[in-house]
A and B are shown apart, each in its own frame.
Chain A
Amino acid sequence: DAGVTQSPTHLIKTRGQHVTLRCSPISGHKSVSWYQQVLGQGPQFIFQYYEKEERGRGNFPDRFSARQFPNYSSELNVNALLLGDSALYLCASSLVPNQPQHFGDGTRLSIL
């Protein structure tokens, strides 16, 4: 079975642009979470969605938004990109929110 898949794997943007990152959960998983991981740190929680509704939001500015689709895939959108948004963005899925999460390989976002 396919694991969590994320696209694109790498992305280069310039300051002020916007970006959309995509995630497909493991088949049967209904909960998707997004994390930001900067070099040398653990993942920081951004959003959690379950059954297409937002279930949790981390301490990130409103430039970050997300949604979950009827097929349980998800998008993370970031507007007005800043240099500090350069990071590995990880998506994780679980059957339901209280089950252990499984991660994709992430999207490496570089802001120039």
Chain B
Amino acid sequence: GEDVEQSLFLSVREGDSSVINCTYTDSSSTYLYWYKQEPGAGLQLLTYIFSNMDMKQDQRLTVLLNKKDKHLSLRIADTQTGDSAIYFCAESMRPGGSYIPTFGRGTSLIVHP
């Protein structure tokens, strides 16, 4: 079955880069996503990448996909205190015609001055 794994915590200093890693198991994944969840809120779609891409950059965010190793990473440049949140990796497959994202447990990013 499908499974998405992430490390649970990451602590960085303000202004440094953050790299959040994720591994997934299903090689038939079509989309891979990064979501951000702040306390008391829902999930905010940060970025996503198609499985036929290796990299995607969007302002301070860079997503790298290594399909061979089934590894996805999210790099946040110049990390700010407002980036403190839980970050979820998700993969989306197409069983029976529906695209159902499977989420990891989330990585709690702590940004300190």
Contacts and interface: CB of A to CB of B under 8 A. Distances in A.
B98 interface: yes
A45 B42 CA distance: 14
B45 A97 contact: no
A72 B31 CA distance: 24
B43 A103 contact: yes
A42 B88 CA distance: 7
Interface string A29-56: 0000100000011111100101000011
Contacts of B4: 42
B44 A103 contact: yes
Nearest to A54: B98
Nearest to B47: A100
B71 interface: no
B36 to A, nearest CB: 10
A101 B45 contact: yes
B48 A100 contact: yes
Interface stretch (B62-70, B73-81, B103-111): B103-111
B10 to A, nearest CB: 16
A105 B41 contact: yes
B42 A105 contact: yes
A56 B100 contact: yes
A25 interface: no
18 contacts: A4-B42, A33-B100, A42-B103, A43-B43, A44-B103, A48-B98, A50-B98, A58-B100, A98-B31, A100-B31, A100-B33, A100-B45, A101-B101, A103-B35, A103-B44, A103-B45, A106-B41, A106-B42
Interface of A: 4, 6, 33, 40-45, 48, 50, 55-56, 58, 90, 92, 97-106
Given A90-B43, A98-B31, A103-B35, 20 more contacts: A4-B42, A40-B105, A41-B105, A42-B104, A43-B43, A45-B100, A45-B101, A45-B102, A48-B100, A56-B96, A56-B98, A92-B43, A97-B98, A98-B94, A99-B99, A100-B31, A100-B33, A100-B48, A103-B44, A103-B45
Interface of B: 4, 30-31, 33, 35, 40-45, 48, 88, 90, 94-106
